[in-house]
A and B are shown apart, each in its own frame.
Chain A
Amino acid sequence: MAASSRAQVLDLYRAMLRESKHFSAYNYRTYAVRRIRDAFRENKNVKDPVEIQTLVNKAKRDLEIIRRQTQKDDLSHY
């Protein structure tokens, strides 16, 4: 499997930020946006393709977590 390209990483970044904006709690929303930005920025100079793939896989898992947790938010208003 070819390592993730720059375009794929950017797509992932945008998708994560987009999903994070759906957190209804102010603190979760602001944390998610800030953390995603800082994490991608911190790793922007990583060159090793294996390391890049590990980071991308982790980000994909985190994106799924955000999707599941924000979906829960829409359905329920406690």
Chain B
Amino acid sequence: MATAPAPLSLSASTLPARLRAGAVPAGARWRQARRGRMVVRAKIREIFMPALSSTMTEGKIVSWSAGEGDRVSKGDAVVVVESDKADMDVETFHDGIVAAVLVQAGESAPVGAPIALLAESEEEVPLALSKAQELSNGQPQQAPPAPTEDAAAAPPPPPAPAAAPAPVAAGTKGIASPQAKKLAKQHRVDLAKVTGTGPYGRITSADVEAAAGIQPKSKPAPAAAAPSVGAVPQAAVLPPVPGATVVPFTTMQAAVSKNMVESLAVPTFRVGYPIVTDKLDELYEKVKPKGVTMTVLLAKAAAMALAQHPVVNASCRDGKSFTYNSNINIAVAVAIDGGLITPVLQDADKLDIYLLSQNWKDLVKKARAKQLQPNEYSSGTFTLSNLGMFAVDQFDAILPPGQGAIMAVGASKPTVVADKDGFFSVKSKMLVNVTADHRIVYGADLAAFLQTFAKILEDPESLTL
């Protein structure tokens, strides 16, 4: 029922006629700019997007029944338009030659916008083509730009063959992707003049958009209304490497990326400290059977040290003040499949290592199953990152936003050390490196904290209390 094609009244008029009629609803100002040029040649008529219903504001061209170069007579259906209600054949009121199609099938235009040019005779076709050139220049359907901008910013490209070739037969040397061809047609970009930067030197849609002077981010045409995932990485600053695979971030990876970029706003500094771990290793061997891990021991030690140096457990939220945290919550970085998460050992200074171990086990299990609650990964006041198990000797961590310091722990390895009496011995030594926010934590603070931390680990009995 609704699809029954109802021939509709016409929407072509001569330019002078339109002048007399006064302003046209859409884009009047912009057309006025051209009026002066066009008044002389009255024999080229514009075909407008008709208003097919009272609520219609824009219409989509379903198909052109007449192609460029076709001679049409009054009453012929030239185009099928899809409104918000139905598809309708639109016929012309004038005889003439369809000189240029301005809005291709599949594209939309606001009611009243020119969608094609009708030339009265063969002689006027080239004129109509040059006019089409002007009209299309910087005009992807909607939002006509100010005339000055139009003239200055985008010098008209060399007269491209306005008769758009059939979808397939783009006779260019360079290979262009399907979307690149569509965009080229839409923006009247001559593919032969575009240098391809895609895989195998292929012309991509980004290349065409660049050639058309379009910011790749703004998706102009409703024709591109089915955007692809590819569009996201394409919008990035760097050109794609030929042959590379682009894999968009998962939500977790996107969160990491965001946090890392944000961290650049914080002025940080780093202090390293060597710690002898023989006693710690002994203790670890003792408590290991009870389910206590090295991570928990380090977290506990850090928490105990933080209790004595509250400034390292503080954070700077507004750039103007210290925020002292009432709890000591140690976030521990954990690599999980395709990402990174920081489960938090809450009140690590207050709980004993056995309870902490139990909590840690639960947290890791939840993290693997991606079931951590926000307060279980975002409530940290200090972060611990341990790469010791990979035999990393030392590394540098990036301070996560909202915290005052992060500790990077390397592997413990046998090292020759001399004691104060000059005796040499081989001790296990590990290097820890703390990154801190220098707005609140100063060098001496951090050094003192590390000294306390080292003392706890070098005489670790207190850990088990």
Is the A/B pair a real complex? no
By a beta-carbon cutoff of 8 Å, the part of chain A in contact with chain B is: none
By a beta-carbon cutoff of 8 Å, the part of chain B in contact with chain A is: none
